[in-house]
Copies of this chain bind each other. A is one copy, B any other.
Amino acid sequence: MRLSVLPGSEIPVYRQIFSQISSQILSGALPAGEALPPIRTVSKELGVSVITVRGAWDALEAAGLIETRTGSGCFVKALSGSEREEMRSQAIEKALSEYIENAKSLGYSEREAENLLREYW
């Protein structure tokens, strides 16, 4: 479980943690049933408050990605293959549409957008 946060970023710390774990679940890197590390452990490792980590966990639970069993920990929820694939698609489409929207309004052509993608990947 690799996590990292940028404290000064414009996007909230708990959201950063949320998207990292979310991506790992949707990509299959974190399989169903897997236990997440205890919030206190994560808190120490990242140097943020326990409450901040808890905020990320809450968001993950609200998104239906994990479930918490009080007293024993938090675990990656079982998602059907199609559910997971759908959420994964939605995530990439959202990111993609932001890129496309930006590129278009900045006056880039499709060809240029593709070349840049190849160049920076």
B-contact bits for A1-34, CB 8 A (1 contact / 0 none): 0000001100010000001100110111100000
Q: Min CB distance, A7 to chain B, in Å? A: 7
Q: Tell me the number of copies of this protein.
A: 4
Of A91, A93, A95, A120, most buried by chain B (CB within 10 Å of CB) is A95
Q: Mark A57-83, 1 if CB is under 8 A from B, else 0.
A: 010001000010110000000000000
Within 8 Å CB of A24, what residues of B?
Answer: 105
Q: Which of chain B's residues have a CB closer than 8 A to the CB of A110?
A: 117-118, 121
Report the 9 A-B pairs with minimum CB-CB distance, sorted nearest first: A27-B107, A23-B105, A95-B102, A99-B99, A110-B121, A27-B106, A95-B99, A23-B106, A62-B62
